[in-house]
Structure 1
Amino acid sequence: MERLQTPEDRFFQDLMGGCAEVRQAFSRHVGMNGHRLQTLMRLWRNGETSHSDLRHTLAIDGASVTRLIKEFEAEGLVSRRIDPEDNRYTLAGLTPRGERTAAGLARAHQDYQVRLLDGVTAEERETVLRVLGRLRANVARIPSEQE
């Protein structure tokens, strides 16, 4: 028996699907997978960052972070060094070439966003932002099963 989709199901399916579609489309647009793109942009925004912080922020395992950073290092985009305050950690930072690459990606992302919003009025944007704000507030009020 097929379950009928409720209006709530459709709303969240379209919301989440739309977000994923937009994110994946930009990755395809610039020819870089999502984790590579997120890592470069995170380093560009935050500066030198530990592998551990990248692992937590990007929600990927340590081996994947190390592999990404080593790939970027081989491409001349990232340099690594031991954290002088705690030698258990490795810090990764963008090289000048990495800075230029990330800045170019940021400009491409800005242009991409402008193109995505073509035909969407300021009023429509504000409506979406109000709805998202209300959803976030509702999430904060709903107790988790663990509480």
Structure 2
Amino acid sequence: MPPPSTRPRQKPAATEVGPTLDLDRYVPALITFIANKLSNSATAFYQRHFGVNVTEWRIMSLLAIEPGIPAARICHVIGFDKGPVSRTLSGLEKRGLVSIRTDPNDGRTHSISLTAKGRATHDKVIVAALDRERRLLSCLSKDEREVLIGLIRRLHENLGAVTAGTDG
């Protein structure tokens, strides 16, 4: 069954004048809608089954890939502001999932890594995360998945065209 359209079910009143977005074709909205729905459902699932929310999972997954990175790197890769990342890291540290150490070469920078408990949690969540991805992409052929990944990467690389001079 195809997903419901984002189009309104009724035609707008004739008194409404001016341009409107076609939410079935406006790419920033489509990406945002998908991301919001994926994040909300992931948080509910991961919290219920593993005790972590999607923000914590994103940070933990990055720490599994790049152990010892500073918070600034996490902010850059994930696209989060410093405040939420700092609060999330503090919570993860209190729960024993990450270790935060002052960088011996630069006292202002911290090296962040998963603890053994954090790695064990990561290793459980990744199975569910990859299954969710598989189910999401199951409507596409292998070739279509590769094209989609390539297109999304290109959009990611082109974000500077709309974010230059902003914080995001």
**Matching of residue 74 in structure 1 with residue 94 in structure 2:** yes
Which deviates more from structure 2 when the two are superposed, residues 109-118 or residues 54-63?
A: 54-63
Unaligned runs of 5+ in 2: 1-16
Partners of 1:40 and 1:108 lie apart in 2 by 14
Partners of 1:52 and 1:82 lie apart in 2 by 14
Match in the other structure for 1:30: 46
TM-score, normalised with respect to structure 1: 0.73
Residues 59, 122 of structure 1: CA spacing in aligned structure 2 closer, same or farther, 3 A cutoff?
closer
Partners of 1:59 and 1:143 lie apart in 2 by 14
CA-CA distance at 1:134 after TM superposition: 9.8
Match in the other structure for 2:130: 110
CA-CA distance at 1:79 after TM superposition: 1.3
Partners of 2:22 and 2:88 lie apart in 1 by 41
Match in the other structure for 2:9: none
Q: Which has the higher contact order (CA 8 A, sep 6+)?
A: 1
Secondary structure of the corresponding residue to residue 80 of structure 1: strand
Secondary structure of the corresponding residue to residue 20 of structure 1: helix
Partners of 1:136 and 1:62 lie apart in 2 by 24
Q: Is the 8 A contact 1:48 1:93 kept in 2?
A: yes
Q: Is the 8 A contact 2:46 2:54 kept in 1?
A: no
Match in the other structure for 1:91: 111
* RMSD between superposed Cα atoms in Å: 3.4
**Matching of residue 54 in structure 1 with residue 69 in structure 2:** no
Partners of 1:34 and 1:54 lie apart in 2 by 14
Residues 98, 121 of structure 1: CA spacing in aligned structure 2 closer, same or farther, 3 A cutoff?
same
Residues 123, 90 of structure 1: CA spacing in aligned structure 2 closer, same or farther, 3 A cutoff?
closer
CA distances 1:70-94 after superposition (whole Å, capped 9, x unpaired): 2111111111211011111122111
Residues 6, 63 of structure 1: CA spacing in aligned structure 2 closer, same or farther, 3 A cutoff?
closer
Unaligned runs of 5+ in 1: none
Partners of 2:118 and 2:20 lie apart in 1 by 49
The one-letter amino acid of 1:3's match is: P
Match in the other structure for 1:14: 30
Q: Is the 8 A contact 1:44 1:99 kept in 2?
A: yes
CA distances 1:10-50 after superposition (whole Å, capped 9, x unpaired): 24133442243234322322124332121111111111111
TM-score, normalised with respect to structure 2: 0.66
Partners of 2:149 and 2:119 lie apart in 1 by 31
Q: Is the 8 A contact 1:35 1:58 kept in 2?
A: no
